[in-house]
Amino acid sequence: MLADLHCHSTASDGLLTPAELVARAQAQGVGLLALTDHDTLDGLPAAHAAAREAGLRLVDGVELSCLWGGATIHVLGYAFDREAPALREALAALHHGRWARAEEIGQRLEAKGMPGCFAGACAVQAERGEAGHPPSRPHFAEYMVRAGHVKDHGQAFQRWLGAGKLGDIKQHWPDLPSTVQTLRAAGAWISLAHPCHYDFTRSKRRRLVSEFVAAGGHALEVSNGPQVDSQVGMLAILAREFGLLASAGSDFHGPRPWSELGQYRGLPADLPALADCLQQSLRPPLHA
């Protein structure tokens, strides 16, 4: 069965509604899907309704933003208790933090001669996404393209929004151990998202994985979207070394030529797959 454990809807920075996403996943042959919006569970009820109708297995998921080693990093949680107080509190704090961060990004861009970016990003979010949600960096990027400040999203991130640039405001994120702890308190399976996305040396990446394991994480996202073979191989080695499960997903945000639901490089056959644990409805071990 084809599983996709990483994708986004209009509840965060995706372009398809949860129902559209489920329909597309089914058309692509995905049998087990996890919706993993950034820092929100708001897309899950609609995704479940669509999945029930389509006969597709949907697992609750989330991609939490946190801080480690001076960088914004992402941790995936699955099959948790949606009502767990620790998770509810963490999500509420992230929601408020994202609003404050978006305003700060707007102020910083204004100081660089780009006024109106906060209002513009809010308008893009309102046009694409769910009411009341804070705009995220891709919404800023879209507004900046429309306003003619940059030629495309790539340039918006490269110049203004990407890692280490003025829009990469990290002070609203909790740290990695507390994020893993929040997910553990909700009974989640926990995977470290796309460890190759960060501009880390090999030894720093290894330290990240080691600290993730020490905090109580269970899995490594060994294959993410269009990630190349060499990175899958390198992450597979880390998963073996640390005795972690392997997870995989498209990280789909919307229909684009290089991105599709269910598409990612296959996991090496010897690695135990998180998708199998979710498929069998196993509970995570209490002690990692």
Query: Where on the chain is the footprint of ligand AMP (CB under 6 A)?
Result: 13, 38, 65, 136-138, 153-154, 157, 162, 253
Smallest gap from residue 253 Cβ to ligand AMP (A): 6
Smallest gap from residue 251 Cβ to Mn ion (A): 4
Smallest gap from residue 119 Cβ to ligand AMP (A): 17
Render 184-234 in DSSP notation, one character per residue.
HHTT-EEEE--TTSS---HHHHHHHHHHHHHHT--EEEEEETT--HHHHHH
Nearest to 183 by CA among 59, 50, 84: 84
* Continuous segment of H or E residues that includes residue 119: helix 117-128
Q: Which residue number, 240 or 253, has a Cβ lying nearer to Mn ion?
A: 253
Render 56-114 in DSSP notation, one character per residue.
-EEEEEEEEEEEETTEEEEEEEES--TT-HHHHHHHHHHHHHHHHHHHHHHHHHHHTT-
DSSP code of residue 253:
-
Q: Which residue number, 153 or 206, has a Cβ lying nearer to ligand AMP?
A: 153
Smallest gap from residue 76 Cβ to Mn ion (A): 8
Q: Which residue number, 98 or 184, has a Cβ lying nearer to ligand AMP?
A: 98
Binding mask 72-111 for Mn ion (x = CB under 5 A): --x-------------------------------------
Q: Which residue number, 85 or 154, has a Cβ lying nearer to ligand AMP?
A: 154
Q: Which two tokens stand for residue 180?
A: 């893993």
Q: Closest CB to Mn ion belongs to which residue?
A: 74
Quick check: 26 and 18 in contact, CB under 8 A? no
Smallest gap from residue 217 Cβ to ligand AMP (A): 19
What is the rounded CA–CA span in Å between residue 198 and residue 226? 15
Residue 133 interacts with Mn ion (CB under 5 A): yes or no: no
Q: Which residue number, 94 or 273, has a Cβ lying nearer to ligand AMP?
A: 94
Q: Closest CB to ligand AMP belongs to which residue?
A: 136
Quick check: 84 and 60 in contact, CB under 8 A? no
Q: Which two tokens stand for residue 15?
A: 């372009």
Residue 142 interacts with Mn ion (CB under 5 A): yes or no: no
Q: Which residue number, 59 or 150, has a Cβ lying nearer to ligand AMP?
A: 150
Contact partner, 224, from Mn ion, ligand AMP, none, Cβ < 5-8 Å per class: none
Residue 37 interacts with Mn ion (CB under 5 A): yes or no: no
Nearest to 24 by CA among 241, 286, 273, 260: 260
Q: Which residue number, 104 or 276, has a Cβ lying nearer to ligand AMP?
A: 104
Which sign does the torsion angle of CA 225, 226, 228, 229 carry?
A: positive
Binding mask 110-129 for Mn ion (x = CB under 5 A): --------------------
Q: Which two tokens stand for residue 220?
A: 């490594």
Would you tell me which residues interact with Mn ion (CB under 5 A)?
A: 13, 63, 74, 193, 251
